[in-house]
């Protein structure tokens, strides 16, 4: 059976060069990085070289990079630390954020730690900047938590503009960059952002490792108490193999960023054209223009069909891996909170196809042909 993997926003295949770098560490460097003997110092060097590499790619100092178990931990740490350690009692977010952000803020509101405000968004997931400024003006100091690009509908937020507003009103800016780290270049020495996050498995690195960038002006308490790891900020022996893999994956992503972007964008554009040509009444969720949309993600809203919930199943039995969902049609439905927030039609199935450097035009042709078969066209 032909197998096509188009769920790269969920996770990406491990790059062979990344695996090679990790295996080398596994085989040769097994000491505890906290030990002071030669075996420990060797492994400590691997961790710190990785930290320096990540920092250089983001144009910051190594002291501002903290390795974590992934994006969810990094998001939680940024938000909780801002509330607990920086004295913030008001947070601003949107209703299309990842649950790592949304659920954390909801919990903090329910327990009385913060007042939570939601900035208005339009039908494509764009932020209403006039409303954002209005919300910022009503509080002495706020936490703004807005993602760079949405993981379901691909809409990109102008984080430079968000950062400028946050600076103007003395707010703390946390940006979930899980979907864009390694796909876009960031210079945090110029961006007015206080927290940014990464999850290695979104950029052909290993699962279970990521990092949190913390602006040098921000002083927070330890994320996890225990040992003195991560400069006393996160107790627990470091995931050395994962950290080495993360560093290698980010290096590869930056080295080939333009080529990968052009290739993947061409696949996304081609798929849009082919689907529009063969499926009547089709449209796409979120922004699709290259300058406003994450090039690795395409959210397709298909026409109504009998047994719409079987669309993904039919793709799967044809060897096609993708993600799907629909808007919630009632308060009790379990559907996509993102599609619901932008007012998507609950009767129409949506499928998120997400691409990587490994996908091909021939795979897109195969997927489009199978979609035609499902709709009996």
Residue 350 DSSP SS3: strand
Strand order in the sheet with 65-68: 65-68, 210-214, 195-199, 172-175, 142-145, 90-93, 115-118
CA 62 to chain centre: 22
**How many Å apart are CA 288 and CA 285, to the nearest integer?**
8
CB count, 10 Å around CB of 170? 11
What is the distance between the terminal CA atoms of the chain, rounded to a whole angstrom? 22
For residues 272 and 295, is the Cβ–Cβ distance under 8 A? no
Please indicate whether residue 301 is annotated as part of the active site.
no
For residues 319 and 7, is the Cβ–Cβ distance under 8 A? no
Residue 127 DSSP SS3: strand
Catalytic: which of 175, 198, 301, 328? 328
**How many Å apart are CA 243 and CA 374, to the nearest integer?**
43
User: How many DSSP H helices and E strands does the chain contain?
Assistant: 12, 13
Reported as half-sphere exposure (CB side, CA atoms, 13 A), residue 161 has a value of: 11
Give the burial string for 255-278 (b: 16+ CB within 10 Å, else e): eeeeebbebbeebbeebbebbeee
Active site residues: 328
């Amino acid at each position: 059976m032909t197998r096509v993997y188009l769920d790269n926003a969920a996770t990406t295949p491990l790059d062979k060069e990344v695996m090679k770098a990790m295996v080398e560490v596994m085989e040769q460097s097994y000491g505890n990085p906290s030990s002071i003997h030669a075996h420990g110092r060797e492994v400590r060097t691997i961790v710190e070289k990785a930290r320096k590499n990540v920092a250089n790619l983001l144009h910051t100092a190594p002291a501002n990079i903290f390795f974590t178990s992934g994006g969810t931990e990094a998001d939680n740490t940024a938000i909780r630390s801002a509330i607990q350690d920086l004295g913030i009692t008001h947070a601003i977010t949107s209703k299309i954020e990842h649950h790592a952000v949304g659920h954390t803020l909801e919990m903090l509101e329910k327990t009385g730690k913060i007042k939570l405000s939601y900035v208005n968004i339009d039908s494509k997931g764009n932020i209403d900047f006039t409303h954002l400024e209005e919300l910022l003006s009503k509080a002495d100091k706020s936490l703004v938590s807005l993602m760079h690009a949405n993981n379901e509908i691909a809409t990109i937020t102008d984080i430079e503009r968000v950062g400028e507003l946050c600076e103007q009103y003395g707010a703390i800016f946390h940006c979930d960059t899980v979907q864009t780290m390694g796909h876009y270049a960031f210079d945090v020495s110029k961006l007015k952002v206080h927290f940014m996050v990464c999850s290695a498995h979104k950029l052909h690195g290993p699962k279970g490792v990521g990092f949190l960038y913390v602006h040098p002006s921000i002083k927070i308490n330890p994320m996890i108490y225990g040992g003195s790891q991560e400069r006393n900020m996160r107790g627990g022996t470091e995931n050395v193999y994962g950290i080495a893999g993360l560093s290698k994956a980010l290096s590869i992503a930056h080295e080939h960023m333009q080529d990968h972007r052009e290739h993947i964008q061409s696949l996304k554009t081609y798929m849009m054209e082919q689907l529009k040509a063969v499926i009547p009444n089709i449209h796409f969720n979120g922004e699709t223009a290259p300058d406003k949309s994450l090039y690795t993600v395409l959210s397709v809203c298909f026409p109504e069909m009998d047994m719409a919930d079987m669309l993904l199943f039919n793709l799967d039995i044809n060897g096609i891996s993708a993600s799907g969902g629909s808007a919630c049609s009632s308060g009790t439905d379990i559907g996509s909170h993102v599609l619901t927030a932008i007012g998507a039609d609950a009767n129409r199935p949506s499928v998120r196809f997400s691409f990587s450097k490994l996908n091909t035009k021939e795979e897109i042709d195969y997927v489009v042909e199978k979609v035609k078969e499902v709709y009996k066209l």
